[in-house]
Amino acid sequence: MKTIQVTAHNLVQAADEAAEVLRQGRVVVYPTDTAYGFAVHGLLPATIEKIFRLKGRRQNNPIHLVVRDLAAVETITEMSPCQRAVLAHWLPGQLTFVLTRKPIVPESLVAGGSTIGIRIPRHPVTQELSRRLDFPYTATSANVSGQPAVYSIAALREQFPENAEIALILNYGDLATGAISTVIDIVAWPEYRIVREGAVSAAKFAEWAARITETK
Protein backbone atom coordinates (compact mmCIF):
# COMPACT_ATOMS: atom_id res chain seq x y z
CA MET A 1 0.00 0.00 0.00
CA LYS A 2 1.71 3.16 -1.19
CA THR A 3 1.03 6.15 1.06
CA ILE A 4 1.29 9.84 0.24
CA GLN A 5 1.32 12.30 3.14
CA VAL A 6 -0.80 15.04 1.59
CA THR A 7 -0.08 18.68 2.39
CA ALA A 8 -0.94 22.00 0.79
CA HIS A 9 2.39 21.81 -1.05
CA ASN A 10 1.85 18.46 -2.78
CA LEU A 11 -1.96 18.40 -3.02
CA VAL A 12 -2.03 18.80 -6.80
CA GLN A 13 0.56 16.09 -7.42
CA ALA A 14 -1.18 13.71 -4.99
CA ALA A 15 -4.52 14.24 -6.72
CA ASP A 16 -2.89 13.63 -10.11
CA GLU A 17 -1.47 10.31 -8.95
CA ALA A 18 -4.71 9.21 -7.28
CA ALA A 19 -6.72 10.04 -10.41
CA GLU A 20 -4.41 7.88 -12.52
CA VAL A 21 -4.76 4.98 -10.06
CA LEU A 22 -8.56 5.24 -10.32
CA ARG A 23 -8.38 5.29 -14.13
CA GLN A 24 -6.45 2.03 -13.89
CA GLY A 25 -9.33 0.45 -11.97
CA ARG A 26 -7.52 0.26 -8.64
CA VAL A 27 -8.47 1.25 -5.09
CA VAL A 28 -7.58 4.57 -3.43
CA VAL A 29 -8.09 5.56 0.21
CA TYR A 30 -8.99 9.25 0.41
CA PRO A 31 -10.10 11.77 3.07
CA THR A 32 -13.49 13.48 3.01
CA ASP A 33 -15.25 16.04 5.20
CA THR A 34 -16.41 13.09 7.31
CA ALA A 35 -14.32 9.89 7.40
CA TYR A 36 -11.71 8.24 5.15
CA GLY A 37 -13.26 6.49 2.16
CA PHE A 38 -12.54 3.83 -0.44
CA ALA A 39 -12.60 5.09 -4.02
CA VAL A 40 -12.87 3.11 -7.22
CA HIS A 41 -14.37 3.97 -10.60
CA GLY A 42 -18.08 4.10 -9.79
CA LEU A 43 -19.52 3.03 -13.14
CA LEU A 44 -17.56 -0.18 -13.77
CA PRO A 45 -18.98 -3.42 -12.31
CA ALA A 46 -15.50 -4.97 -12.04
CA THR A 47 -14.14 -2.16 -9.86
CA ILE A 48 -17.33 -2.00 -7.78
CA GLU A 49 -16.92 -5.70 -7.01
CA LYS A 50 -13.47 -4.94 -5.57
CA ILE A 51 -15.02 -2.67 -2.93
CA PHE A 52 -17.64 -5.20 -1.87
CA ARG A 53 -14.95 -7.86 -1.60
CA LEU A 54 -12.48 -5.59 0.22
CA LYS A 55 -15.02 -4.47 2.82
CA GLY A 56 -16.77 -7.82 3.15
CA ARG A 57 -19.93 -5.88 2.33
CA ARG A 58 -23.23 -7.56 1.47
CA GLN A 59 -24.27 -7.13 -2.15
CA ASN A 60 -27.70 -5.90 -1.03
CA ASN A 61 -26.12 -2.87 0.69
CA PRO A 62 -25.88 -0.02 -1.86
CA ILE A 63 -22.84 2.26 -2.20
CA HIS A 64 -23.01 6.01 -2.86
CA LEU A 65 -21.02 8.05 -5.38
CA VAL A 66 -18.85 11.17 -5.22
CA VAL A 67 -19.30 13.51 -8.18
CA ARG A 68 -17.45 16.61 -9.31
CA ASP A 69 -20.36 19.07 -9.54
CA LEU A 70 -24.06 19.42 -10.33
CA ALA A 71 -23.46 18.97 -14.05
CA ALA A 72 -21.97 15.57 -13.24
CA VAL A 73 -24.98 14.73 -11.09
CA GLU A 74 -27.22 15.24 -14.13
CA THR A 75 -25.29 12.62 -16.11
CA ILE A 76 -26.13 9.83 -13.65
CA THR A 77 -29.48 10.85 -12.11
CA GLU A 78 -32.94 12.06 -13.08
CA MET A 79 -32.73 15.45 -11.35
CA SER A 80 -35.52 18.02 -11.57
CA PRO A 81 -34.85 21.77 -11.33
CA CYS A 82 -36.28 21.78 -7.79
CA GLN A 83 -34.03 18.90 -6.74
CA ARG A 84 -31.08 20.67 -8.33
CA ALA A 85 -31.85 23.72 -6.18
CA VAL A 86 -31.69 21.54 -3.05
CA LEU A 87 -28.28 20.18 -3.99
CA ALA A 88 -27.03 23.62 -5.00
CA HIS A 89 -27.84 24.95 -1.54
CA TRP A 90 -26.30 22.13 0.51
CA LEU A 91 -23.40 20.85 -1.58
CA PRO A 92 -20.47 20.72 -1.26
CA GLY A 93 -21.12 19.57 2.28
CA GLN A 94 -21.66 16.73 4.74
CA LEU A 95 -24.81 15.36 3.12
CA THR A 96 -25.70 12.54 0.76
CA PHE A 97 -28.77 13.09 -1.40
CA VAL A 98 -30.67 10.13 -2.83
CA LEU A 99 -32.04 10.60 -6.36
CA THR A 100 -33.42 8.37 -9.11
CA ARG A 101 -30.51 6.87 -11.01
CA LYS A 102 -30.01 6.69 -14.75
CA PRO A 103 -29.25 3.31 -16.40
CA ILE A 104 -25.55 4.24 -16.65
CA VAL A 105 -25.24 3.49 -12.92
CA PRO A 106 -24.56 -0.26 -12.55
CA GLU A 107 -27.20 -2.29 -10.73
CA SER A 108 -24.45 -3.95 -8.71
CA LEU A 109 -23.65 -0.60 -7.08
CA VAL A 110 -27.21 -0.07 -5.83
CA ALA A 111 -28.38 -3.65 -5.17
CA GLY A 112 -30.61 -3.47 -8.23
CA GLY A 113 -32.48 -0.45 -6.86
CA SER A 114 -33.73 2.57 -8.75
CA THR A 115 -31.90 5.22 -6.71
CA ILE A 116 -28.35 6.38 -6.00
CA GLY A 117 -26.82 8.43 -3.19
CA ILE A 118 -24.81 11.46 -4.33
CA ARG A 119 -22.00 13.20 -2.43
CA ILE A 120 -19.89 16.30 -3.12
CA PRO A 121 -17.66 16.50 -0.02
CA ARG A 122 -16.22 19.80 1.12
CA HIS A 123 -12.61 18.69 1.41
CA PRO A 124 -9.60 19.96 -0.58
CA VAL A 125 -8.31 16.49 -1.46
CA THR A 126 -11.70 15.24 -2.63
CA GLN A 127 -12.33 18.34 -4.68
CA GLU A 128 -8.90 18.25 -6.34
CA LEU A 129 -9.37 14.57 -7.16
CA SER A 130 -12.87 15.10 -8.57
CA ARG A 131 -11.67 17.87 -10.88
CA ARG A 132 -9.35 15.41 -12.59
CA LEU A 133 -11.93 12.73 -13.33
CA ASP A 134 -14.71 12.48 -15.89
CA PHE A 135 -16.45 9.71 -13.91
CA PRO A 136 -17.85 9.42 -10.37
CA TYR A 137 -16.13 7.33 -7.72
CA THR A 138 -17.36 5.41 -4.73
CA ALA A 139 -18.22 7.10 -1.45
CA THR A 140 -18.01 4.35 1.14
CA SER A 141 -16.13 4.36 4.43
CA ALA A 142 -12.69 2.75 4.40
CA ASN A 143 -13.62 0.10 6.94
CA VAL A 144 -14.52 -3.54 7.21
CA SER A 145 -18.28 -3.81 6.92
CA GLY A 146 -19.79 -3.62 10.39
CA GLN A 147 -16.66 -2.09 11.93
CA PRO A 148 -16.25 1.58 12.95
CA ALA A 149 -15.62 4.21 10.32
CA VAL A 150 -11.97 5.20 9.92
CA TYR A 151 -10.75 8.70 10.83
CA SER A 152 -6.99 8.06 10.76
CA ILE A 153 -4.58 5.97 8.72
CA ALA A 154 -3.51 4.17 11.89
CA ALA A 155 -7.09 2.97 12.32
CA LEU A 156 -7.22 1.98 8.66
CA ARG A 157 -4.12 -0.18 9.03
CA GLU A 158 -5.62 -1.92 12.04
CA GLN A 159 -8.51 -3.11 9.88
CA PHE A 160 -6.52 -3.61 6.65
CA PRO A 161 -2.92 -4.57 7.44
CA GLU A 162 -0.96 -4.59 4.16
CA ASN A 163 -3.97 -5.35 1.98
CA ALA A 164 -2.90 -5.83 -1.63
CA GLU A 165 -6.22 -4.54 -2.99
CA ILE A 166 -5.41 -1.01 -1.76
CA ALA A 167 -3.13 0.64 -4.32
CA LEU A 168 -2.79 4.12 -2.80
CA ILE A 169 -3.50 5.90 0.49
CA LEU A 170 -3.88 9.68 0.61
CA ASN A 171 -2.98 10.47 4.21
CA TYR A 172 -4.37 13.84 5.30
CA GLY A 173 -3.81 13.21 9.00
CA ASP A 174 -6.47 12.59 11.61
CA LEU A 175 -10.01 13.68 10.68
CA ALA A 176 -12.76 14.88 13.01
CA THR A 177 -13.84 11.70 14.80
CA GLY A 178 -17.54 10.91 14.75
CA ALA A 179 -18.62 12.81 11.66
CA ILE A 180 -20.75 10.91 9.13
CA SER A 181 -22.81 12.32 6.29
CA THR A 182 -26.53 12.87 6.69
CA VAL A 183 -28.39 10.84 4.05
CA ILE A 184 -31.63 12.34 2.70
CA ASP A 185 -33.93 10.78 0.11
CA ILE A 186 -35.39 13.58 -2.06
CA VAL A 187 -36.73 11.41 -4.90
CA ALA A 188 -40.28 12.69 -4.21
CA TRP A 189 -39.26 16.27 -3.33
CA PRO A 190 -40.74 18.38 -1.73
CA GLU A 191 -41.45 15.27 0.29
CA TYR A 192 -38.25 13.82 1.73
CA ARG A 193 -37.01 11.14 4.12
CA ILE A 194 -34.05 11.24 6.48
CA VAL A 195 -32.35 7.90 5.84
CA ARG A 196 -29.51 8.55 8.30
CA GLU A 197 -28.88 11.51 10.54
CA GLY A 198 -25.27 12.63 10.70
CA ALA A 199 -23.24 15.82 10.64
CA VAL A 200 -26.22 17.91 9.49
CA SER A 201 -29.12 17.50 11.90
CA ALA A 202 -32.59 16.51 10.73
CA ALA A 203 -33.94 19.58 12.51
CA LYS A 204 -31.65 21.92 10.59
CA PHE A 205 -32.66 20.45 7.24
CA ALA A 206 -36.35 20.44 8.18
CA GLU A 207 -36.20 24.11 9.13
CA TRP A 208 -34.64 24.98 5.78
CA ALA A 209 -37.05 22.77 3.81
CA ALA A 210 -40.07 24.32 5.51
CA ARG A 211 -38.85 27.82 4.77
CA ILE A 212 -38.20 26.99 1.12
CA THR A 213 -41.56 25.31 0.53
CA GLU A 214 -43.40 28.18 2.20
CA THR A 215 -41.95 30.61 -0.32
CA LYS A 216 -43.05 28.58 -3.33
Separation CA 27–CA 33 (nearest Å): 19
Are 167 and 26 spatial neighbours (Cβ–Cβ below 8 Å)?
Answer: yes
pLDDT in tens, 134-146: 999 999 999 999 9
Q: For position 84, which CATH number holds?
A: 3.90.870.10
- pLDDT higher than threshold 70 for residue 68: yes
- pLDDT higher than threshold 70 for residue 85: yes
**What's the whole-model pTM score?**
0.94
- Which residues lie across from 117 on neighbouring strands? 98
Band of residue 213 on the pLDDT scale cut at 50, 70, 90: confident
Supply the mean pLDDT for the chain: 95
- Per-residue pLDDT, averaged over 68-72, amounts to 97
**In the prediction, which pLDDT does 177 show?**
75
Q: Helix, strand or coil for residue 122?
A: coil
Task: Return all residues near 7 (Cβ < 8 A) that are at least 6 apart.
Answer: none
Band of residue 93 on the pLDDT scale cut at 50, 70, 90: very high
**In the prediction, which pLDDT does 5 show?**
98
- Per-residue pLDDT, averaged over 28-57, amounts to 96
- Per-residue pLDDT, averaged over 17-46, amounts to 97
**In the prediction, which pLDDT does 1 show?**
82
The length of the chain, given as a count of residues: 216
Number of domains in the chain: 1
- For 35, the domain range is 2-214
Task: Return all residues near 212 (Cβ < 8 A) that are at least 6 apart.
Answer: 190
- pLDDT higher than threshold 90 for residue 98: yes
Separation CA 59–CA 62 (nearest Å): 7
Separation CA 79–CA 103 (nearest Å): 14
Are 100 and 39 spatial neighbours (Cβ–Cβ below 8 Å)?
Answer: no
- Per-residue pLDDT, averaged over 167-176, amounts to 95
- pLDDT higher than threshold 60 for residue 216: no
**In the prediction, which pLDDT does 215 show?**
65
Name which of 128, 160, 118 is nearest 142 in CA terms.
160
For the chain, give the percent of residues with pLDDT over 90.
Answer: 94
Residues 108, 34, 129, 102, CA torsion sign: positive
Band of residue 179 on the pLDDT scale cut at 50, 70, 90: confident
